[in-house]
Amino acid sequence: MSVKTILEARNVSKVYGSGRTQVTAVRGVSLSISAGECVALMGPSGSGKSTLLRVLGLISRPTEGSVIIQGEEVGDGECRRARLRNRFFGYVHQEFAIIENETVERNVMIPLQYANPKPGRQELRSRTRLVLEQVALGWALKKNASQLSGGERQRIAIARALVNDPVVVLADEPTAALDGKTAQEIITLLLSIKERGAAVLFATHDDRVAKQCDRILRMIDGRLVE
Amino acid sequence: MSSAMYIVGTLGFLALVFAAFVSSARLTMRQENRAFKIRQMYGATPIHISLRIGGFLAAVALVPQVVLLFLLLVFLLVTGAPAPGATLWVMLALILTFVFLWFSAVREVRAQEQIGW
């Protein structure tokens, strides 16, 4: 059975700053991720995991090399990149990255607001409700995001990452700010995304998280070593 | 001489009001920056962000003031008060300030590559 590559990086490098302050965060990384695969990206702090995730997720542009999505190279045009971010990716981050002064419902429906075609109001609401029920937050629909606990906020971020049926979910240290029990709940929830056919890429320090993945990649000083 | 001092004083006062207005609007924009970046992460294009910033600024720094000035203009015209046209100049100044704020806010948000987190 052939495994379909959905996301690929070819010789990607990322340099921040210039002159004396120049820092090379990622050096010539090539990797590929297949549909339904769960990959852990491990390495010490500052090894370039987050930067690589940002480049793969089209949040940051590579200085060199290219990102290929379903066989097509991603160009430089911001509108196309924005469209791909919306259609292709879900993002989960350790600081939750939610809008505190908005309701849970409004936070989760953000990706649907920029979808093309944009769903109607009824569909927008029903899909938001459905995904919140899947992460056991159906009761919090109209609550303000700032009223919820850390674990619940992370579930909001996961619900938002899933609402658009992404092909790849990128999770950057998703459990770093959580206690052990809540962290395992979040990991179980993220791993369940595989059942929907989506790939999950974790950047993590945590061996317990990595052991639950199909494949482990290690980064040191911006290079992929394994 | 006294009229020149009056003009200088008024201009100084207006400059202070303008500076306070701009810095307060920019502070609010900075607080909203995170929300804009999250939206960019999930597919908002530069046009979406520009329109959102414009709408946000219009709601806090243009529409309420212009509505009040318009009501004042109507009141001045109805009562036959002198120089009702002054309110139009203030409206124009507000619109120009709004355009300046919109342009600089969009440039600030777009200048930072970091989006999302």
Rounded to two decimals, the ipTM of the complex is 0.87
Cis geometry, peptide bond prior to residue B46 (ω within 30 degrees of 0) = no
Angstrom distances, CA of residue A41 to CA of A78, A89, A95, B73: 27, 17, 18, 64
Entry pTM: 0.83
| Average pLDDT, consecutive stretches of 10 residues, N- to C-terminus, chain B (117 residues) | 82 86 80 85 90 89 91 91 85 91 84 55
Which residues of chain A lie closer than 8 angstroms to B45, CB-CB?
Answer: 78-79, 82-83, 114
- Tens digits of residue pLDDT in A138-183: 999 999 999 999 889 989 999 999 999 999 999 998 888 778 888 8
- Tens digits of residue pLDDT in A21-71: 899 999 999 999 999 899 999 999 889 999 999 999 999 999 999 999 999
For residue B110, give the chain A residue with the closest CA.
Answer: A78
Which residues of chain A lie closer than 8 angstroms to B34, CB-CB?
Answer: 97, 99
- Enumerate residues 41 to 70 of chain B having a beta carbon within 8 A of any beta carbon in chain A: 41-48
What is the number of residues in chain A?
A: 226
Q: Which residues pair with A66 in a beta bridge?
A: A10
CA angle B56, B60, B63 (to 5 degrees): 100
